[in-house]
Structure 1
């Protein structure tokens, strides 16, 4: 089967088409294990009942307070990794990577991105990046591979539907969980339009931004009367997976820049298990991803929890944003 054809495929059938790719069989086994874990987590989110949950007051490796659901999500995906050919598990919720056993793969994962939005019933998700270990048990070496070395990446989104957005370098594809069969079925191949008039960012941080970002957004807001000569609309959910999925469906740009605040000098999103997998999916859907100045997937990886500025979405608008950030021409002619 050809994943580029507009036909209904199960996730398992789709993964079979990747068998000839590097570590194709192990990627398949790992993705099926992650898919099963996502169903467990989605069930807990929908029911509001977390098996064996206790009150949690500790902070995770990024300094954010853990909710019981964060811990449950991490435990659920760690168990899935142990049952798959994943030898190294690097999680937002763990200070150091965990060696999980024999296998040719490593995973960098945010088990539950956006958990602070649970009480508001906004879609949240699990973001992941799968890499080859190359036979080494040195997690530092594995997780400092170029982002272009990702074998597969994507995110599960827990909302009205349980969705999987996934890329293994053959485009970016959406799968929906079918409660009747228990499996995931191919919904669409994502194609981001190159131009868009929508943007997403937290404008309350404007006073902290560096001047080029302030200039860029000010010109968006000036609309047809400004140098851009067209009106723009802002659509911001505040959940990374939800904002990303909207852009994959209809275009736009998402921006989380660095700023002058302590702790935000290199942005706030984590490179390995948030920015890199999102970047791969966006590029494979025809869009662009950047740290506002440079192609995201060209940036060197450093540590498991390293942060990075992030902007992604419609290719032409990202080019305009980069021109502002790099001090060049400010209007795409």
Structure 2
């Protein structure tokens, strides 16, 4: 099995970007260890604070955010960072080449039950036309990403990443502490009758979405033998889609503040859309390519459907 750096060099990734990816992954290894220790490390439970999204923070959320933040800001190649847990961009080295955005711990509601959680990250080229610590550094389309990936903390720790080419899967080898290539190229099947959606929100969706899911759950012939799978962690649900197909759907709904759903464009939708599309899948928001959306704010949310091409097209045709 090949180690991470030789694979990246083979893919033509620059040394500077490789070193930055190493920094991100160094933080992920520390998070992986803390996750594996659970209650023994004193990281379970919630804090008394809320993040910018209005969500109660878990202790491990705070720890993971600080670990990644500290490591990235100590890297001279980083001009700025943006975290789902932070109100605004945090400036780094004004001469740095890159900017990094991340969701330090996606699926944090699963922490205390030992469920699936993960770190999502994305890297862009820094902008020279705005201040280094401006939110506008991240006013870039998903199509401009240089690298996107996630680390899934589970029975094994997996890294799924693309630097513009194939979406590859690596596994953390605990014996020597490095990520080894375990899947050369991930490919999303064109269709699979599995879907992931939070059906508890059904009553808040518009009529088109409710009708689509009514047809799916009542086995309309177009959706023959559909099955629902839901991890309450986007990173886990999308990993399943990448591994065996299906579709992950998070619509907007009628509640104030959730008109565009809960998925953040910068921290979740863009990086995962890049991984899905580079694996042969499709990622849309109300019929528009997620990777072509021009951001309007740092914590912008978008409704999404991503996964197997035919499944996404079927959902989009029924709801837009």
- 8 Å CA contact retained: 1:53, 1:72: no
Aligned to 2:55: 64
Shift of 1:25: 2.2
Aligned to 1:3: none
Q: 2:147 aligns with which of 140, 152, 160?
A: 152
- 8 Å CA contact retained: 1:155, 1:241: yes
- Structure 1 residue matching 2:82: 3-state secondary structure: strand
Shift of 1:34: 1.0
Aligned to 2:80: 88
- Map of 1:198-217 to 2, 5 A cutoff? 198-217=194-213
Shift of 1:55: 7.3
CA distance in 1, matches of 2:3, 2:229: 32
Aligned to 1:330: none
- Map of 1:89-238 to 2, 5 A cutoff? 89-101=81-93, 102-135=95-128, 136=130, 137=132, 139-188=134-183, 189-223=185-219, 226-228=220-222, 230-238=224-232
Per-residue CA deviation, residues 102-134 of structure 1 (Å, 9 max, x unaligned), is 420001110111111111111100111110003
Report the TM-score, using the length of structure 1 for normalisation: 0.90
- Structure 2 residue matching 1:75: 3-state secondary structure: helix
Q: Does 1:320 align with 2:314?
A: yes
CA distance in 2, matches of 1:151, 1:287: 19
- 8 Å CA contact retained: 1:26, 1:105: no
CA distance in 1, matches of 2:134, 2:274: 21
Q: Extract unaligned runs of 5+ from structure 2.
A: none
Shift of 1:36: 1.0
Q: Does 1:274 align with 2:264?
A: no
Per-residue CA deviation, residues 43-71 of structure 1 (Å, 9 max, x unaligned), is 11111255899973121111111122111
Report the TM-score, using the length of structure 2 for normalisation: 0.93
User: Between Structure 1 and Structure 2, how many residues are aligned?
Assistant: 314
Aligned to 2:9: 16
- 8 Å CA contact retained: 2:88, 2:135: no
Could you list the runs of 4 or more consecutive aligned residues of structure 1 that deviate by over 6 angstroms after TM superposition? 51-55
